[in-house]
Amino acid sequence: MHLTAFRFGKPYESLERNKLVHFMTGEPVAEVSQVGGAIVSRDLRKADNARNALLKIDPEDIVERLQTAGNLYALGTVEVGGVKQSPDDFARQQSATTGLPESLCHANMKKNLFVLSNMDRMLDALSRGLSPEILWQGYGTEHRDVVVSYQCQSPVLGLVLPSNSPGVHTLWLPVIALGVGLLLKPGGQEPWTPYRMAAAMIEAGIPEEAIGLYPGATDVGAAILADSGRSMIFGSAKTVEQYRGNPAVQVHGPGFSKILLGDDCVDHWQDYIDVMAESIAANSGRGCINCSAIYASRHTDEIADALAERLGTQDVRPPDDPEATLAAFTIPGAAKAIWQQIESLLDKPGVRHATAPHGSRFVEGERCGWLRPTIVECDSPDPEIAHAEYMFPFCSVVKCTQEKMLERIGPTLVATAITNDSGFQQQLIHANHIDRLNFGPLPTIKLDWLQPHEGNIIDFLYRSRALQMAATTELVSTATAAPAQSGR
Amino acid sequence: MPADTTETSPVFKVADEKSISQSRDKLDAHTAEIVAWHFHPSTGSPFWLEYAEKLNFDPLKEVNCFDDLKKFPAFEDEWLRGGPVTRWIPKGFAGQPAYVFETGGTTGTPKSRVNLRDFRTDYEEFSETLPEEYFPKGANWLMLGPSGPRRLRLSIEHLAQHRGGICFCIDLDPRWVIKLIQKGWMEHLEAYKDHCIDQAITVLESGHDIRCMFTTPKLLEALAIALEKKGTTIREAGITGIFSGGTEFTPQWTRFAVEELLDGAFMTPTYGNTLMGLAASRPVIPEDGYTIAYYSPQPRAVIEVVDFDDTNSVVPYGGTGRVKLTTLTKETFVPGFLERDEGERERPYAHYPWDGISGVRPFSKLATATTVGVY
């Protein structure tokens, strides 16, 4: 199977191809054309064509086509890389190159299907009831009889996608429905979701000129970030820091998501063990929304031991085993290196490895490695490991007074606060270093898609501005005319 | 070197046995002459004369052909760092004006090579490989690439002058570019690139009748895209011939450049460095899968593609190995320097009847620690 680049409607076979192999057997799975950054820069000059192609279609029709695409993606057989691909084929291939168990690949497909199936509700929620026609025309009259105008900030959204978490794709699924094209750089090991989703969208009637697939090395990502009017990148804390404050780039890095137990609920910690375990271990702990730390003022030793008992016994299973829960680290030596780093932090004062009695955490394969769920107890937020996040089920249970919690937790993508203390609740609501806030025993990984994630995608792609009209002036509807500026 | 070169490639003309044999004889004679110069007490350099005292053989008597150079222990690149650089100047050239060219040097002491006239000779020889149709004699040049302590600026300027033209130069400091990348200052990197490209466009638009250019692949694509944004092309800006090098070339990049960036301008990829001089490429054509095969300027420099573990053995044709470079000029003698590159061994080409190398890329065992191809 050869996955070619796709230059907004035109397949492009590169002379350079990346060979993807099965993470356990080394058997070839696919070849992926590799392009250079200059191809992206060049094609972005014609990015207006992508948006124009979408604006020719009624916005409600686009939403319907996306819903059809969702069904094709999750349930149908579509042609990918010149080969018919069923959902089972897809899960097998995705698992083979990412190390994710097939059951989790299927679970992520359901998540993407849910988002596409509910696109109309999502858009309504995220736009606060704005008619999509207004985004198409650039202006309109709201239901309050007020003229509003929105400027599209970029005809396409550029995305530098990761290899390690197929769950992130939900973030870009609404973009087409907002009349903005997609320029995707698939993750090196996970081209599967972008390619299958693009194939399903095009088969469902989304114009092929609106979608680009540009697999390649880091220079492709650099070109996307430099030349797209708006782009999204998934990366490390260093990447986040690099693009902090750049309004054209939305960065998704480590989440450092947490569960905070208020003093009023902590004595009933047993009631919340299921929520904690699910938050830590769902999707093999790979997501930024997985819980990496639990804060409580007391019972931290008992909580850590209970979680160790619950998760610490999970073992490696073959990727096609329906019971498999742990993803492999497919880069040779990666799992071992991570474990060695963790071990060096476990020796520090105030740190106890709660899963130690449940056997070795590092499992070495012939070509890959695994890390079994690891629970650590910290007697304060001081040890370095209390603030660590890893790409497997890992959590520090940190002893910290409620009074000091908000001061010590650091940046937090998702906080599940289990408390009925109204004072604490108010502090949490007003804390700027918490993004998504859940009150009550909701798993950190449970996202309500009708609410924004790390900023509202509509606010990222559109800018609200003033548009005034004299009583004698009438604007002609030009929904399909060329709108936004290309690039920066 | 094995002599199994009898097969004829369907896409390029492989050198015949007679040419290969003649070039080999020339190399053997040249090797003996150069070693005699560098190790003779009256003409040799302080470095090699001192070094000879530690050898268990006499280079003056026991180096009579190229293969005899294997008697030398491995050349250590650390020897090229630091001063006094005059230790490398042969006594036979004492008192002549000298240049020093550096490589590396983003942090720490760079490697250096002293030059008297070698860079001029290298580029005069290379000039003979440039097709007149695209690099007309008398045309003016644009040099858009690394200058400062590097050899390139003076070399390109000499090439232009040698061909009867004048060279306009834009400066680029690759050490700063590498630091920007290492610091993650990507906005600064883009701004610096734009700063260089803006200057290049200004020169091209200023009526200097520039028709030839040297630049690196990255800067060439940046220039082409910047010109495209202005509604023009490299060819329409007047450029007919481009000689490019300085960083890694790939067949895919070359194909993209030919198909989409150059608008009919001719480009010839080169592989070179401060030690070797300049290796020209055989014609890069679609029928050959845009393979970029370089041939060193023998006998002044020799590239061998050697086994990663046994660096005195070349790999079979088509096999992958590390680049081993030998420099044999009266100014500089460097036997068996192991480069930080690897590639595939190529058969002798009719115009260059000795081994070549294709697919040149950073040596895989070192690549992860090196920032390459950045400007």
Per-residue pLDDT tens over the stretch A119-129: 999 999 988 88
Encode pLDDT of A50-84 as tens digits.
999 999 999 999 999 999 999 999 999 999 999 99
The pLDDT assigned to A142 comes to 85
Beta strands in B41-110 (DSSP E): 99-103
The pLDDT assigned to A470 comes to 84
- Least confident segment among A162-171, A227-236, A246-255, B110-119: A162-171
The pLDDT assigned to B118 comes to 94
Residue of B256, B261, B267, B284 to mutate for A, most A C-beta atoms under 10 A: B256
How many angstroms away from the CA of B323 is the closest CA of chain A?
22
Stronger pLDDT, A316 or A236, i.e. the higher one: A316
| Cβ contact, residue pair B289, A15, below 8 Å | yes
- Looking at mean pLDDT, say which of A230-239, A331-340, B132-141 comes out highest: B132-141
How many angstroms away from the CA of A42 is the closest CA of chain B?
6
A430 shares contact with chain B (CB less than 8 Å): no
Closest CB to A38: pick one of B221, B289, B290: B221
Confidence of residue A478 (pLDDT cuts 50, 70, 90): low
Encode pLDDT of B144-177 as tens digits.
998 888 888 899 999 999 999 999 999 999 899 9
Does the pLDDT at position A382 exceed 80? yes
Alpha carbon separation from A246 to A107, A251, A484, B61, B186 (Å, rounded): 34, 9, 19, 68, 12
Encode pLDDT of B230-279 as tens digits.
999 999 999 999 999 877 788 999 999 999 999 999 999 988 888 888 89
Does the pLDDT at position A480 exceed 50? no
Nearest CA in chain A to B183: A242
What are the residue ranges spanned by the domains of chain A? Answer: 2-253+456-465, 257-439
Does the pLDDT at position B353 exceed 90? yes
Asked if residue B280 lies in contact with residue B301, where contact means CB atoms within 8 angstroms, the answer is no
How many angstroms away from the CA of B236 is the closest CA of chain A?
17
CATH topology of A2-253+456-465 equal to that of A257-439?
no
The pLDDT assigned to B9 comes to 53
The pLDDT assigned to B106 comes to 72
Nearest CA in chain B to A227: B190
Stronger pLDDT, B147 or A95, i.e. the higher one: A95
Nearest CA in chain B to A246: B187
Encode pLDDT of B107-130 as tens digits.
788 999 999 999 999 999 999 999
pLDDT above 90 as % of chain A: 81
Nearest CA in chain A to B288: A15
Q: What is the mean pLDDT of residues A276-297?
A: 95
Alpha carbon separation from A88 to A75, A103, A426 (Å, rounded): 9, 10, 47
Q: Residue B128: which of B268, B304, B292 has the closest Cα?
A: B268
Does the pLDDT at position A481 exceed 60? no
Q: What is the mean pLDDT of residues B100-109?
A: 82
A146 shares contact with chain B (CB less than 8 Å): no
The pLDDT assigned to A235 comes to 82
**H or E segment and range at residue B295:** strand B293-295
Asked if residue B171 lies in contact with residue B147, where contact means CB atoms within 8 angstroms, the answer is yes
Q: What is the ipTM of this complex?
A: 0.82
Q: Which residue has the tokens 């650590």?
A: A376
All residues of chain A having their beta carbon less than 8 Å from the beta carbon of residue B256 are: 35-36, 38-39
Q: What is the mean pLDDT of residues B322-336?
A: 95
Q: Which residue has the tokens 């796709």?
A: A6
The domain made up of A2-253+456-465 has a fold known as: Aldehyde Dehydrogenase; Chain A, domain 1 (3.40.605)
Encode pLDDT of B31-89 as tens digits.
999 999 999 999 999 999 999 999 999 999 999 999 999 999 989 989 999 989 999 99
CA–CA gap between residue A192 and residue A100 (Å, rounded): 13
CATH of domain A257-439: 3.40.309.10
- Least confident segment among A228-237, A422-431, B129-138: A228-237
| Average pLDDT of chain A, as a whole number | 92
Q: Is B307 exposed, middle or buried (0-12, 13-18, 19+ CB in 10 A)?
A: middle
The pLDDT assigned to A145 comes to 84
All residues of chain A having their beta carbon less than 8 Å from the beta carbon of residue B250 are: 15-16
A231 shares contact with chain B (CB less than 8 Å): no
Nearest CA in chain B to A13: B252
Confidence of residue A237 (pLDDT cuts 50, 70, 90): confident
Encode pLDDT of A383-407 as tens digits.
999 999 999 999 999 999 999 999 9
Q: What is the mean pLDDT of residues A183-200?
A: 96
The pLDDT assigned to A204 comes to 97
